[in-house]
Amino acid sequence: MNPLEFHEKYKGKLSVNSKVPLKNRIDLSLAYTPGVAEPCKEINKNVKDVYKYTIKGNSVAVISDGSAVLGLGNIGAEAAIPVMEGKCVLFKEFANIDAFPICIKSQETEEIINIVKNIAPVFGGINLEDISSPRCFEIEERLKKELDIPVMHDDQHGTAIVVLAGLINAAKVVKKDIKILKIVVNGAGAAGTAVAKLLLKEGVGDIILVDREGILNKNNKNLTFHKKEMAKITNKGNKEGKLNDALKKADVFIGLSAPNVLKADDIKLMNKDSIIFAMANPIPEIMPDEAKKGGAKVIATGRSDFPNQINNVLTFPGVFRGALDNKVNKITDEMKLNAAHALASVVKDVKTEKIIPDVFDKSVVKVIANSIK
Amino acid sequence: MNPLEFHEKYKGKLSVNSKVPLKNRIDLSLAYTPGVAEPCKEINKNVKDVYKYTIKGNSVAVISDGSAVLGLGNIGAEAAIPVMEGKCVLFKEFANIDAFPICIKSQETEEIINIVKNIAPVFGGINLEDISSPRCFEIEERLKKELDIPVMHDDQHGTAIVVLAGLINAAKVVKKDIKILKIVVNGAGAAGTAVAKLLLKEGVGDIILVDREGILNKNNKNLTFHKKEMAKITNKGNKEGKLNDALKKADVFIGLSAPNVLKADDIKLMNKDSIIFAMANPIPEIMPDEAKKGGAKVIATGRSDFPNQINNVLTFPGVFRGALDNKVNKITDEMKLNAAHALASVVKDVKTEKIIPDVFDKSVVKVIANSIK
């Protein structure tokens, strides 16, 4: 079956079901009127009881405005629904979380913030998804401040956690201390920015961020606000130039960008035993064979048909499972670092082709959930 | 089990589940990346395909701002959740519709309209619930105009349909033509207003609306806008006074108001073989025995422990099932009249204590759904 036939067959991937019996008048009087008035009155007296009597304690909204969906760009709210439904399926299957897709028509920052705040009562967590940069930064920051439930933009932090986990184990393979690694991150959007920030929190040696225009550095007056901020905290030597210039003497390449931007000769510019995370999907920045020709030692991609698949599905189910179970109302940088180390620790026998757990490894969710507290 | 224990045991009444398998990499590549990009691209090309590839064709939002919940009043968004979840359970159990509760923090008319419009993409229908009058009228009218999916405020129209259905059969029992019935509706909020309007569309003799201040009439300058509008189209004789005055020579009393507002002596003011729908819940406007003492012939309540239970659950599942299946984007007055006649027709052997189908009568949904087209 191809993906279109698959989606047409099931007519969407989610169903909403009753957890309670409803076969007779007694059931009806408990689940609906008149009995339902009792939990309503209790919640009205003490709003915290919403966790006791409703779905809030296990529900997450998967929210997108359809402005940056997969690699497809700004395809709008309706066209984003299949991805958001898919995400909800993953929430259920991996973490037993009841997630529901909310696709917002507006792409105005203030309006999106207002809408999410207003529909938050029934949700125990907010997973922001596929919202374009730099709007995603303000939307997430503001919602974190203004809501008392956990809010996470998965494209940013889900990616950052899994990348750091992979890097922790890759560094073990090449026997380099993560504290001295020189890292090039290609792509300065939502994912690239969050990856760079989390790696800096972990204490890596240096990071150079590269976007389509070249290296982000402090001399460049044309950068947007958020890229200027990133230039301030990265690129210690204030290098200028293109991706090639950044790669010279680097230990790690992290691609969150576009297909085929690298060749073996580019990898040769890097230090010995280089680490390559080529995560553009479905076609990576460089194919594993080509990277190996250039001398790369550890290679990871976003694809399931190569070893070392770096995929957010390893992180967001566990992060929200932990946040819900441990009544965490903010997902902090410390929790993200802990989650990355927890995820890395799941791989017992770290080796070149095994730096990250398999996406279907059932132990991952619990280990990450335990780290979110 | 009492209702609090019941709600605490299940921790809410809904779950969101996957309809698709997700056991291996092939499943993952169909339900999520990379396969999910295909339906996204199709919907981006032709937005109507959202019905083909997503849950939209079977999903309804149950939306409240918590401003008029059951008889509890303005208890707010969180405290409204148990009722909205209950409604979603009924949608599933009676009509196999995937309904999800959305409880909105704001109680500003324009903001609610804006929020509902913005989150509409994933839903095939909007069920408004427990929003206080008169805001509910404008919110529903505007959403009907500005959205291309069916929108129904169930407190209004679900109630109106089931009341008209009951009245059609009650009129048969007392052998009076519905066209000559003089009807008193006590309560001029959302439900009372909608009931009066639908009965007028059906062509009843006359309606007198009564609120806490007394009879709505054209001389009263102190009425709110919507009550003035109702005074214009009701009360042909322009009667003044209290509920008692309205009841004189009336054939039908329809209570959508408060407990114990009537006694047997009040019923005696009415015409012979009076019809009493005392729907205040859980304590009706008059208990059936007391109404009988006053000479009432047909008595209905909202309660399951007396005959003739008038309950919205007989209507909204079928109305939305029909609207979704028949791709109806507006629920018109004609459809509501048809739905009421369809519902009345389900009772084959109409008699004093059987004017309306049992709430668990499985044939009801299909019959009503067929009338919504």
Q: How far is B351 from chain A (nearest CA, A)?
A: 22
Chain B nearest-CA residue for A283: B34
Chain B nearest-CA residue for A18: B14
> b/e for A296-307, b at 16 or more Cβ within 10 A?
bbbbbbbbbebb
Name the residue among B40, B58, B77 with its Cβ closest to that of A82: B40
Name the residue among B17, B85, B359 with its Cβ closest to that of A15: B17
Q: How far is B320 from chain A (nearest CA, A)?
A: 16
Measured in degrees and rounded to the nearest 5, phi and psi for residue B240 equal: -120, 170
Q: Do A82 and B10 touch (CB under 8 A)?
A: no
ipTM of the complex: 0.96
Q: How far is A105 from chain B (nearest CA, A)?
A: 5
Question: pLDDT digit of tens for each residue in chain B (373 aa)?
Answer: 899 999 999 999 999 999 999 999 999 999 998 899 999 999 999 999 999 999 999 999 999 999 999 989 999 999 999 999 999 999 999 999 999 999 999 999 999 999 999 999 999 999 999 999 999 999 999 999 999 999 999 999 999 999 999 999 999 999 999 999 999 999 999 999 999 999 999 999 999 999 999 999 999 999 999 999 999 999 999 999 999 999 999 999 999 999 999 999 999 999 999 999 999 988 999 999 999 999 999 999 999 899 999 999 999 999 999 999 999 999 999 999 999 999 999 999 999 999 999 999 989 999 999 999 9
Name the residue among B2, B3, B101 with its Cβ closest to that of A122: B101
Q: Which residues of A touch B37 (CB under 8 A)?
A: 3, 70-72
**pLDDT of res. A6:** 97
DSSP three-state, residue A263? coil
Name the residue among A90, A111, A281 with its Cβ closest to that of B34: A281
Q: Do A3 and B77 touch (CB under 8 A)?
A: no
Please give the helix or strand (H or E) that residue B299 lies within, else none: strand B296-301
Q: Which of A10, A56, A87, A249 is catalytic?
A: A87
- List beta partners, residue A255: A186, A278
Burial class from Cβ neighbours inside 10 Å (0-12, 13-18, 19+) for residue A48 reads exposed
Q: Report the largest interatomic distance among the alpha carbons of chain B, rounded to a whole angstrom.
A: 75
Task: Round to whole Å and give the CA distance between A274 and A253.
Answer: 8
Q: Do A70 and B40 touch (CB under 8 A)?
A: yes
Is residue A32 flagged as an active site residue? yes
Chain A nearest-CA residue for B64: A119
**pLDDT of res. A106:** 98
Residue B178 near residue B167 (C-beta atoms within 8 A): yes
Q: How far is B246 from chain A (nearest CA, A)?
A: 30
Tokens of A370: 């335990």
Measured in degrees and rounded to the nearest 5, phi and psi for residue A88 equal: -65, -40
Task: Round to whole Å and give the CA distance between A102 and B215.
Answer: 45
The residue ranges of chain A whose pLDDT is under 70 are none
Task: Round to whole Å and give the CA distance between A71 and B247.
Answer: 68
Chain A nearest-CA residue for B35: A3
**Tokens 């359970």 -> residue:** B89
Q: Do B281 and A34 touch (CB under 8 A)?
A: yes
* Residues A198, A204, A205: CA angle, nearest 5 degrees: 140
Q: Which residues of A touch B17 (CB under 8 A)?
A: 14-17, 92
Q: Do A304 and B25 touch (CB under 8 A)?
A: yes
Q: Which residues of A touch B33 (CB under 8 A)?
A: 70, 86, 281-282
Q: Which of B10, B13, B23, B32 is catalytic?
A: B32
Q: Do B33 and A84 touch (CB under 8 A)?
A: no
**pLDDT of res. B282:** 84
How many Cβ contacts (< 8 angstroms) between chains A and B? 340
- Which of B9, B15, B83 should be substituted to probe chain A, the one whose Cβ sees the most A Cβ atoms within 10 Å? B15
**pLDDT of res. A236:** 97
Name the residue among B20, B29, B118 with its Cβ closest to that of A105: B118
Residue A97 near residue A324 (C-beta atoms within 8 A): yes
Q: How far is A222 from chain B (nearest CA, A)?
A: 33
Is residue B53 flagged as an active site residue? no
Name the residue among A25, A57, A87 with its Cβ closest to that of B304: A25
Task: Round to whole Å and give the CA distance between A293 and A42.
Answer: 66
Q: Which of B19, B45, B48, B87 is catalytic?
A: B87
Q: Do A81 and B43 touch (CB under 8 A)?
A: yes
